Amino acid sequence: MESCLKCRKFNDKLFLKGERCFSPKCAVTRRQAATTNTRGKRFSKKSEYGLQLQEKQKAKAGYGLRERQFRATFMKAAKSTEATGEVLLQRLEMRLDNVIYRSGWAQSRAQARQTVNHGHINVNGKKVDIPSYTVKVKDVVEANNPELIKKIQQEKLNAPKWIKANNTKIEITAIPAREDIETSVDEQLIVEYYSR
């Protein structure tokens, strides 16, 4: 239940456990994060640095990345002429494992990553087994074994506006705008953390 511990740590649903996150068994739903420590003393208020670090850790946990990958993604976003925070979230959303998850072909990002790792996904007709592969607009993602996808996919395909998905094919129609990205992460705090 390490995933549930992460959700409680950030006091926010990160949707790391698939169906469990939508059920009454969700750790965040069952109990709110503690406001006091084991000795009954209230936790001290976080510093500005503490808030920035927590936001970065929350984004890393939510997208299932390690520090090195996350930092590399941030550095690429920082080179853009557009708003760094928004570009960072767009780059994270355009990862192949995240696209599989967002389109409803997997119940969690971990399951989506495993599906890609095991070679069940084609992008534009070529097998891709790298979860961090960045999809582009007009890319077509297909399953090698559609029956497998039908077994693991969520009951309803709840793809965001920038993805056109059905049971056998996903098409990337646009780069996601900030309002299309469903996350509670405050990207500005992450930018401030790396800009120290």
Q: Residue 183 and residue 178: Cα distance in Å, rounded?
A: 9
In a domain, 182, yes or no: no
> Can you give the pTM of this predicted structure?
0.78
- Give 196 or 136, the one with higher predicted confidence: 136
Q: Which residues contact 76 (CB under 8 A, 6 or more apart)?
A: 91
Q: pLDDT value at position 73?
A: 95
In a domain, 42, yes or no: no
In a domain, 47, yes or no: no
In a domain, 128, yes or no: yes
Q: Residue 115 and residue 170: Cα distance in Å, rounded?
A: 15
Q: Which residues span the domain enclosing 147?
A: 95-174
DSSP state of 57: H
Alpha helix ranges (H) inside the chain = 2-10, 27-30, 48-63, 67-78, 84-93, 96-102, 109-117, 146-152, 187-194
Q: pLDDT value at position 105?
A: 87
Tally the domains of the chain. Answer: 1
Q: pLDDT value at position 159?
A: 81
The model's pLDDT over 49-105, given as tens digits with 9 standing for 90+, comes to 989 998 999 999 889 999 999 999 999 999 999 999 999 999 999 999 999 998 888
Judged against a pLDDT cut of 70, whether residue 194 lies above it is answered with: yes
The model's pLDDT over 1-53, given as tens digits with 9 standing for 90+, comes to 456 666 666 666 666 666 665 566 666 556 655 555 555 566 677 889 989 99
In a domain, 18, yes or no: no
In a domain, 53, yes or no: no
> Which CATH number does the domain housing residue 143 bear?
3.10.290.10
Q: Is 76 helix (H, G, I), strand (E, B) or coil?
A: helix
Q: pLDDT value at position 20?
A: 60
Contact 140, 171 (CB under 8 A): yes
In a domain, 148, yes or no: yes
pLDDT band for 165, please (50, 70, 90 cuts).
Answer: confident
In a domain, 143, yes or no: yes
